[in-house]
Structure 1
Amino acid sequence: MKLIVFDMAGTTVFDENKVGITLQTALQKYGYDFSVEEINVVMGYEKPVAISLLLKDSGVTAEKDLVNKIHQDFVEMMIEYYTKSNEVKSTPNAHHVMQYLRENGIYVAFDTGFSRPIADTIFKRLDWKQGQDFDFSITSDEVENGRPYPDMIFKAMEHFNITDSKEVGKIGDTMSDLQQGENAKCGLTIGVTTGAYSRNELKGYHHDFIIDDLLELKNILKN
């Protein structure tokens, strides 16, 4: 492996469904009521796409202006949360594993269904710096297609001049993370149970491993 691409919320950043609850709140403000379970189905997707899918599934025309307003409210609430909440922290062993990979010559990258302003707020809050704690990050608003499309992984590969996706691993906590790894033909696609999906839910999608703690990645790579 030359590169491991990590998801953020639920994978490397602690999340007790705060993302789903915040998206639910943003939708409710405009009169659209969805359960967290319904919202979890689209977790990991680029958030405007997730909003559009939810609206369409409920028979609502997902007009661009409406989607943008809901998304903007979501972004503002998430930035406030990641700036001020005492709950914000990394998942167990995330930073240790990031350091381990970099010390062993493996690049560490992040991709996310968040837009750049939210991702940068998280990096600032956790004091994770590019070039010191990780090597690259890409957000869904910086590519043509977010997850489950492979664009963000391909962008990370391009950054490091990696041409063979078999030398890349993808780790995430949602269906769309695993689909993204499959679509990019990653050499390693790993689901982690620290976020939106349970082990049983993740089992239904393409994966090489499902883990409960990022620390397990060390043994996977050794073998």
Structure 2
Amino acid sequence: MTIKGVILDWAGTTVDYGCFAPVAVFIEVFANKGIEITMDEARKPMGMLKIDHLRTLCEMERIAGLWEAKYGRIPNDADVNEMYTDFERILFSILANYAEPIPGVIELMERLRKQGIKIGSTTGYTFEMMKVVATEANKRGYAPDLLITPDDVPAGRPYPWMIYENAIRLDLYPMKHMVKAGDTISDIQEGVNAGVWTVGVLKGSSELGMTEAEVAACPPQELSEKLLAVELKYRAAGAHYVIDSIGELDTIIGLINARLEQGDKP
């Protein structure tokens, strides 16, 4: 009655501290259309398949209103597809620079493997995007046992299919013996929908949206307030646990194992 597998997100959880690669690109793509979106708006759907993320941005009331004011209509599928082509072009030009493992994750992997815990992963990036990220991350010492992208399943987050595919390929069952950790609301929804223990990560997350240097320089009281605000979002989305940083995940696994022994389940 112990945790047998951990499913980790990529950008904002295990690599790319603060999840900055996609954010700047979304802002630039809309700017190329003469529409100014905010960083908060760009981050809100983070964790989704990127074309779904783009479509969600276009459906936001303020953004759709700006588009209608400029073009006389709300954005349609043709607009989304055109911007997505632009998004891919820009993202692929910078993606290799955003694959640095987040502090603590490589040591965490070593500890998990010593316990015999399998390490899977899910992402909002496509397979082609992840070929770049995974290759670069591997050069830097980070390589989970398995990577599943939305291209491998019928739909990305918040659907649970990527976690189910991890379970199938890593031979993990029942679902209560798995933990999903991530840094976005869609990560939490994915884990909850899959019926696994779900953990939100604070520092390095897209939800916090701060660089490592900004976190270090932030006054303690202000940082505590920001972290609490993110934690409350995770809890509201159904997170079972929230941790300060990804390197603390195995301390939570110990708590979950104790609950499993008592017959608890997610």
| TM-score normalized by the length of structure 1 | 0.89
8 Å Cα contact 2:49/2:156 also seen in 1: yes
User: Offset at 1:7?
Assistant: 0.7
Q: Which residue of 1 aligns with 2:214?
A: none
Mapped to 1, the partners of 2:143 and 2:45 lie a distance apart of: 29
Within a 5 Å distance, the mapping from 1:71-86 to structure 2 comes to 71-83=84-96, 85=97
8 Å Cα contact 1:174/1:197 also seen in 2: yes
Mapped to 2, the partners of 1:113 and 1:94 lie a distance apart of: 19
Instruction: Name the larger-Rg structure.
Output: 2
Identity of aligned residues (%): 26
User: Offset at 1:109?
Assistant: 1.1
Mapped to 2, the partners of 1:126 and 1:90 lie a distance apart of: 7
Mapped to 2, the partners of 1:154 and 1:24 lie a distance apart of: 32
Moved segments of 4+, more than 6 Å: none
Q: Which residue of 1 aligns with 2:15?
A: 13
1:117 counterpart (94, 115, 128): 128
Q: Which residue of 2 aligns with 1:175?
A: 185
Q: Tell me the matched-pair count.
A: 218
Mapped to 2, the partners of 1:191 and 1:26 lie a distance apart of: 29
Within a 5 Å distance, the mapping from 1:1-223 to structure 2 comes to 1-16=3-18, 17-57=20-60, 58-59=63-64, 60-63=74-77, 65-83=78-96, 85=97, 88-127=99-138, 133-186=143-196, 188-193=197-202, 194-198=204-208, 199=227, 200-203=229-232, 204-223=236-255
Mapped to 2, the partners of 1:202 and 1:140 lie a distance apart of: 26
Mapped to 1, the partners of 2:86 and 2:128 lie a distance apart of: 13
* CA distance 1:79–1:202, shift in 2 (3 Å): farther
User: Offset at 1:75?
Assistant: 2.3
Mapped to 1, the partners of 2:130 and 2:99 lie a distance apart of: 13
* CA distance 1:15–1:31, shift in 2 (3 Å): farther
User: Offset at 1:108?
Assistant: 0.7
Unmatched segments (≥5 aa) in structure 1:
none
The C-alpha deviation readout for 1:141-178, integer Å capped at 9, x for no partner, is 32211111101101111112323211111111001001
Three-state SS of the structure 2 residue aligned to 1:43 is coil
8 Å Cα contact 1:190/1:210 also seen in 2: yes
Three-state SS of the structure 2 residue aligned to 1:138 is coil
Larger fraction in helix: 2
Mapped to 2, the partners of 1:147 and 1:36 lie a distance apart of: 21
Q: CA RMSD in A?
A: 2.1
The amino acid across from 1:179 in the alignment is Q
8 Å Cα contact 1:48/1:71 also seen in 2: yes
